[in-house]
């Protein structure tokens, strides 16, 4: 595990350019460590195992924290009693909010005071929102209305404000108004968006003045850098790349022999898949750019190939976990039409978004993950295949 901290890395410690600057920088560095722990397989693998990033945690956190040289016991120990305001663009079972929630719980574990704000709250009572809020409250995360004096007070008092996603930038002017300049130096802006229509001043005009930006891949960071410069004539702040990875804990549940057998049987039965069938799955919110279309095309092509070459292989299935017919209807409708058109309904299974992903990891044989091709951002994602078992 990680080396003990050097004393100069403690909050308010020696060196740096003034305590405020130093503190901000330190917070950023340690958040990198957190984010390295806050990992996903796809974007949905959160919730079931939220106590990530403990002492026994894996390599990425160790590397990140070792680099910062600022670790005391828990890598986040220094965040004890700090006030952190998390601003989420929405609260749903999609990657962005779930990652932020995980961060909230990690901070709670080390004794931070955590306040959560959801900028776009859906009007209708929503079971998902309700249960996620409930989960946060039960972890001691305070949930506040996005607007109003209390939100402003917390932003002013906070030691750190995390704005989650580019879209959340709308919250700044709308709520903080004149106070925006006071809050900007404490903002870590965690950006997950990868596509062009988010490059709008409406969202990101304050980006140059925040303490730092955190982006999920080098390709995306590069894309943000050039797009904001070329199109918006603004400069990115200090930007940190923190990859999302697979959740080690979820993988361990999925690998546990007894649990795995039970979960595997249960899920396979619910999908109508035999135990000897071969199951590929992609676990992501179904949306354009996440690669489910390519996954299904590849799956269909391999079925054709098997048929043409008369290969003897087990019956194959494709499982798409992350379906949401309320949200990305057009894209998902296209996927479903593709399936029907090619008559592969019996072998393609759509599963609604869920926090309980471990059973699917246990039930499948191959997890498919998307990735972006370097230097050619708009190119289609390609896939990494690796055996789950
Ligand atoms: C999946 O979600 C849709 C709405 O998006 C809902 O109608 C359906 O009942 C859900 N299916 C399951 C099995 O929960």
Domains by residue range for the chain, with CATH: 2-242 (3.40.50), 248-385 (3.40.50.2000)
Average pLDDT estimate for 179-207: 90
Name the residue with the closest Cα to ligand 1, atom 11.
352
8 lines ligand 1 (CB under 6 A): no
352 lines ligand 1 (CB under 6 A): yes
Q: In the predicted model, what is the mean pLDDT of the chain?
A: 79
137 lines ligand 1 (CB under 6 A): no
356 lines ligand 1 (CB under 6 A): no
379 CA → ligand 1 middle, Å: 32
Pocket test for ligand 1, best of 94, 285, 325 (most atoms within 8 A of CB): 325
352 CA → ligand 1 middle, Å: 6
| pLDDT at position 323 over 80 | yes
Long-range contact set of residues 7-10: C-beta below 8 Å, sequence gap at least 24 = 9/68, 9/69, 9/70, 10/70, 10/72, 10/78
326 lines ligand 1 (CB under 6 A): yes
| pLDDT at position 111 over 90 | yes
Average pLDDT estimate for 219-226: 90
State how far the Cα of 371 lies from the Cα of 380, in Å rounded to an integer: 9
Name the residue with the closest Cα to ligand 1, atom 13.
352
What is the per-residue pLDDT for 144?
95
What is the per-residue pLDDT for 388?
45
pLDDT in tens, 339-381: 999 999 999 999 999 888 888 988 999 988 876 544 333 333 3
Which residues share a beta bridge with 336? none
304 lines ligand 1 (CB under 6 A): no
Name the residue with the closest Cα to ligand 1, atom 4.
325
Lowest mean pLDDT among 13-22, 161-170, 236-245, 261-270: 13-22
Pocket test for ligand 1, best of 352, 355, 360 (most atoms within 8 A of CB): 352
Ligand 1 atom closest to residue 352's alpha carbon, by position in its atom list: 1
What is the per-residue pLDDT for 80?
94
pLDDT in tens, 44-103: 333 222 233 333 333 344 333 333 433 347 888 999 999 999 999 989 888 889 889 989
| pLDDT at position 204 over 70 | yes
What is the per-residue pLDDT for 369?
81
| CB-based contacts of 77, cutoff 8 Å, min separation 6 | 71, 110
pLDDT in tens, 147-185: 999 999 999 999 999 999 999 999 999 999 999 999 999
pTM of the model: 0.70
**Tokens 């996603």, located at residue:** 165
Query: CB-based burial of residue 201 (10 Å sphere; 0-12 exposed, 13-18 middle, 19+ buried)?
Result: middle
**Tokens 């108004």, located at residue:** 177
Place 285 in a pLDDT band, splitting at 50, 70 and 90. Answer: confident
Ligand 1 atom closest to residue 326's alpha carbon, by position in its atom list: 5
Name the residue with the closest Cα to ligand 1, atom 12.
352
What is the per-residue pLDDT for 41?
31
User: Taking each helix axis from N to C terminus, what angle separates 127-138 and 95-109, rounded to the nearest 10 degrees?
Assistant: 20
325 lines ligand 1 (CB under 6 A): yes
pLDDT in tens, 6-38: 333 333 333 334 555 555 554 555 555 455 444
State how far the Cα of 34 lies from the Cα of 45, in Å rounded to an integer: 16
């Amino acid at each position: 595990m990680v080396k003990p901290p050097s004393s100069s890395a403690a909050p308010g410690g020696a060196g740096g350019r003034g305590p405020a600057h130093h503190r901000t920088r330190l917070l950023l560095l340690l958040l990198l460590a957190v984010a390295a722990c806050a990992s996903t397989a796809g974007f949905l693998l959160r919730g079931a195992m939220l106590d990530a990033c403990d002492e026994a945690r894996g390599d990425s956190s160790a590397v990140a924290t070792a680099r910062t040289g600022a670790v005391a016991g828990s890598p986040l120990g220094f965040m004890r009693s700090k006030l952190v305001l998390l601003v989420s663009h929405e609260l749903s079972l999609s990657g962005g909010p779930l990652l932020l929630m995980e961060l909230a719980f990690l901070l709670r574990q080390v004794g931070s005071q955590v306040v959560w704000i959801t900028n776009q709250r859906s009007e209708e009572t929503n079971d998902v929102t309700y249960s996620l809020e409930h989960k946060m409250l039960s972890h001691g995360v305070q949930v506040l209305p996005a607007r109003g004096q209390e939100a402003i007070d917390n932003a002013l008092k906070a030691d750190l404000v995390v704005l989650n996603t580019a879209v959340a930038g709308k919250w700044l002017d709308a709520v903080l108004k004149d106070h925006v300049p006071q809050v900007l130096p404490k903002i870590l802006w965690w950006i997950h968006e990868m596509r062009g229509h988010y490059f709008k001043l409406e969202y990101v005009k304050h980006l140059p003045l925040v303490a730092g930006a955190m982006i999920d891949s080098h390709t995306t960071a590069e894309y943000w850098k050039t797009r904001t410069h070329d199109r918006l004539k603004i400069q990115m702040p200090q930007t940190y790349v923190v990859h999302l990875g697979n959740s080690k804990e979820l993988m361990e549940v999925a690998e546990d022999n007894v649990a795995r057998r039970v979960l595997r049987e249960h899920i396979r039965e619910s999908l109508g898949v035999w135990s000897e069938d071969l199951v590929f799955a992609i676990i992501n919110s179904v949306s354009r750019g996440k690669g489910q279309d390519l996954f299904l095309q590849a799956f269909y092509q391999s079925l054709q190939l098997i048929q043409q070459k008369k290969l003897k292989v087990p019956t194959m299935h494709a499982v798409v976990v992350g379906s949401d017919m309320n949200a990305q209807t057009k894209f998902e409708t296209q996927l479903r039409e593709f399936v029907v058109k090619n008559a592969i309904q019996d072998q393609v299974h759509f599963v609604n978004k869920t926090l309980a992903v471990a059973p699917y990891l246990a039930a499948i044989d191959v997890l498919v993950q998307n990735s972006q091709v370097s230097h050619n951002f708009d190119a289609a994602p390609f896939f990494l295949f690796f055996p789950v078992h």
